[in-house]
C-alpha cells in the first residue's frame, strides 16, 4: 500500500490561474474541472471557477486546488501553511526556484543554509508561501 500527501490549496476565484502557473513551473499533467463541468454551479458567476484541479508532475510533484464558493467561509490567513518542495540537487531546485520566483515576493533568497546546500522561501502572486530546498540525509537525534 502506498500513501501520498498532496497539498490542497483553497482560493476564491484564483485557482485556475494558480494551477496554470504551477503547471508552467513544474510541468506534468494539468487537470481543471469547473463547477459547470461538474454540474454543481451555485451562481452563474462561479460557473467557470474550479471545482477540482490538480498538477501532477513526472518527478512526483503534486498539488491540488479549488475555488471556495461564495456561499462558503474563506480567509487565506497569515502563515497558515507553507508548501515545501524538496529536491535531490541544487541544479534541480535552482531551476524550479527561478520559474516559481517570477512575480513572487522573495522572503529568503535561494542560498546555502546551515541545513541545506540550497534553501529559499517566497510568496507567490497567489499568496502561497513556498519553501524550496535540497534534501539532506540527517542522523536521528
pLDDT for residue 1: 61
Burial class (CB in 10 A: 0-12, 13-18, 19+), 78: exposed
83-134 placed in CATH 3.30.565.10 = no
Residuewise pLDDT in 10s, the chain (141 residues):
656 779 999 999 999 999 999 999 999 999 999 999 999 999 999 999 999 999 999 999 999 999 999 999 988 887 778 899 999 999 999 999 999 999 999 999 999 998 899 999 999 999 999 999 998 877 666
pLDDT for residue 136: 84
Report the predicted TM-score, pTM, of the whole model to 2 decimal places.
0.83
Alpha-carbon span 85 to 61, nearest angstrom: 8
Cell 476564491, located at residue: 12
Amino acid at each position: 500500500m502506498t500513501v501520498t500527501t498532496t497539498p490542497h490549496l483553497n482560493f476564491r476565484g484564483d485557482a485556475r490561474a494558480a494551477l496554470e502557473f504551477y503547471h508552467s513551473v513544474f510541468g506534468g499533467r494539468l487537470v481543471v474541472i469547473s463547477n459547470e463541468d461538474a454540474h454543481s454551479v451555485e451562481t452563474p458567476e462561479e460557473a467557470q471557477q474550479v471545482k477540482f484541479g490538480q498538477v501532477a508532475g513526472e518527478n512526483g510533484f503534486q498539488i491540488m486546488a479549488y475555488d471556495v464558493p461564495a456561499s462558503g467561509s474563506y480567509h487565506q490567513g497569515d502563515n497558515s501553511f507553507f508548501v515545501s518542495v524538496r529536491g535531490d540537487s541544487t541544479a534541480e531546485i535552482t531551476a524550479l526556484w527561478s520559474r516559481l520566483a517570477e512575480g513572487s515576493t522573495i522572503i529568503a533568497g535561494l542560498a546555502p543554509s546551515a541545513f541545506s546546500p540550497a534553501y529559499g522561501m517566497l510568496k507567490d502572486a497567489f499568496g502561497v508561501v513556498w519553501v524550496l530546498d535540497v534534501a539532506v540525509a540527517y542522523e536521528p537525534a
